[in-house]
A = this chain, B = another copy of it.
Amino acid sequence: MLIIDGPQYCNWSEKIFRQMREGGASAIHVTISYHETFRETVYVMETWNRWFERYSDLIVPAKTAADVRKAQAEGRTAIVFGLQNPSSIEDDIDLVEILHTLGVRFMQLTYNNQSLLATGCYEAEDPGITRMGKQVIAEMNRVGMVIDMSHSAERSTFEAIDLSSRPITISHANPSSWHPALRNKSDELIAALTARGGMLGFSTYPHHLKDKSDCTLESYCTMIARTAERVGVDHLGLGSDLCQDQPDSVVEWMRNGRWSRERDYGEGTAASAGFPPQPSWFRDNRDFGVIAEGLAAVGFSGEEVAKIMGGNWLAFFEASFGPKS
């Protein structure tokens, strides 16, 4: 079975790359930037280039769906780059094409806060897509970079769905009707996203789960089944948001970047500021098979399980990662 997940933002190591192989991951969408500038993002790419050289038996960079299929055939995991924030394009729209050439295939228009392009889900007001945001959506559509609204506010997300000439994604979030976290999404928004061909990736990040780290596999898979009943199975996939082996300083960077002098706790609290433990049924990349079994147990057919585990993402990559054919 072809398995695709992401975004993930792990403390990458040979151990984790081997776990990807053990779990049968054909492709992982990895985050290479939260608040980094263009130059800082390039430094991260340089680090990945060294890993691609050193661990060439385990991982390989991917820019197309064909690269993912080739990786799977070779027994390697394809790595697809994504940005969780538009900070990497700074105020320069032409960096969209430059970053696309360097392999970036996903970019969030916001990360929690207002950006130059749109509004994040933590802002009090959401005035929608900005002037530059409209231009950047058109440019991302032109070159084939996927618009990701996982951390965006609702009005901005509805507008991005409408403004984009190509399907967009909410790569890592769950329905707020299942667990009312600020980062989860309304049924109306998920319906609008998928009706236009957009993909929803189901998160395993405990703050997005009912009962958090204690969430059961059955609850998670039943939530996916309820979503499929509403919007069909063709636009659903995994979006684990796995942040394995990271020190808590990393979640502090995600939440605070360089934008605040007061400490922001995001989905955590002062008393519980760090990364929460993963649910027992998805510790890391070795556990994709557990989720697949859980999906079958709640009634999905074999074909449906294969779509959710990776087939739908692959079809989306095929349609999204280059100029519109």
Contact = CB atoms under 8 A, between A and B. Distances in A.
Contact of A46 (B45, B49, B92, B103): B92
Nearest to A90: B39
6 contacts: A42-B95, A46-B95, A49-B98, A98-B102, A101-B102, A102-B102
Interface in A45-79: 45-46, 49-50
Nearest to A93: B46
Contacts of A122: none
B45 A98 contact: yes
A38 interface: yes
Interface string A34-48: 000011001001100
Interface string A85-120: 000000010110110011100000000000000000
Contacts of A45: 98
Nearest to A52: B97
B101 A46 contact: no
B101 A42 contact: no
A92 to B, nearest CB: 7
Contact of A97 (B39, B46, B95, B97): B46
Contacts of A46: 92, 94-95, 97-98
A206 to B, nearest CB: 35
Contact of A101 (B50, B94, B95, B101): B101
A49 B94 contact: yes
Interface of A: 38-39, 42, 45-46, 49-50, 92, 94-95, 97-98, 101-103
A99 to B, nearest CB: 10
Nearest to A45: B98
Contacts of A102: 98, 101-102
A321 to B, nearest CB: 16
Nearest to A94: B46
A101 to B, nearest CB: 6
A-B pairs with the 9 shortest C-beta distances? A46-B94, A49-B97, A101-B102, A42-B98, A39-B39, A45-B98, A46-B98, A49-B94, A101-B101
Nearest to A143: B49
A50 B94 CA distance: 9
Nearest to A142: B53
Contacts of A50: 94
Contacts of A38: 39, 42
Contacts of A49: 94, 97-98
Contacts of A94: 46, 49-50
A94 B42 CA distance: 9
A138 to B, nearest CB: 13
A90 to B, nearest CB: 10
